[in-house]
Amino acid sequence: MNEQNTSGHAREGLRDSVKDTVKELAGAVTGSDSPATEEEEAVEATDEHRRAVRAAAAARDEADRVRRAAKGLSGNAGLSLPADHRRS
């Protein structure tokens, strides 16, 4: 996932959070329980979305770290195989 997609997902999550808060306030003002139930479901979905975005960002960061480490090893970086693992 590139940085632009991550930013887009973050904006989407923020928009959903604001929308859900407005629904919750409307339910509290009107005394309606139905929006509260819908609000709870929406908040849970928004939280799940945020966790997914964070997990994707963490996975991307880890993949970048592994790529950098592998790139450093590709030049052997002063490493050598033990004598019993060298090719003849």
pLDDT in tens, 46-84: 899 999 999 999 999 999 999 988 888 765 555 555 556
Q: Is the pTM of this model over 0.95?
A: no
Task: Please check the confidence at residue 26 and state whether its pLDDT lies above 60.
Answer: yes
In whole angstroms, give the CA distance from residue 73 to residue 81: 12
Mean predicted lDDT score pLDDT of the chain: 77
- What is the DSSP secondary structure assignment for residue 87, as one 8-state letter? -
Is residue 1 scored above 70 in pLDDT? no
pLDDT given at position 87: 54
Distance CA 86, CA 71 (A): 21
Buried-state track 28-62, b at ≥16 Cβ within 10 A, e below 16:
eeeeeeebeeebeebbeebeebbeebeeeeeeeee
